[in-house]
Amino acid sequence: MRVAVTIPYFDFFPEIKAELMSAYPGVKFPPTRARLSEDELIDYLEGYEAAIIGLDRFTEKVCSALPELKIVSLCSAGVDHIDPEILNRHDIKMYWAAGINKVSVAELALCYMVLTLRKVHFLSQILYRGEWKGPVGFGADLRGKTVGIHGCGHIGKELVKLLQPYGVKILVCDRVDISAFCAEHRVENVSFDELLARSDVLTIHLSRNKSTLGLYDDKTLGRMKPGAVLINCARGSMVDERALKKRLESGHISGAAFDVFDVEPANSNPLLDVPNFFASPHIGATTRESWAMMLRSGVYGVAHAYRQAANAYPFD
Q: Which amino acid is at 14?
A: P
Please provide residue 88's backbone torsions phi and psi, each rounded to the nearest 5 degrees. Answer: -65, -35
| Active site residues per annotation | 235, 264, 282
- Give φ, ψ of 156 to 5 degrees: -60, -45
In this structure, are strands 71-74 and 93-95 parallel, antiparallel, or unpaired?
A: parallel
Residue type, position 62, single letter = V
Q: Round to whole Å and give the CA distance between 140 and 121.
A: 14
* Phi, psi for 100 (deg, rounded to 5): -70, -20
Residue 300 near residue 95 (C-beta atoms within 8 A): yes
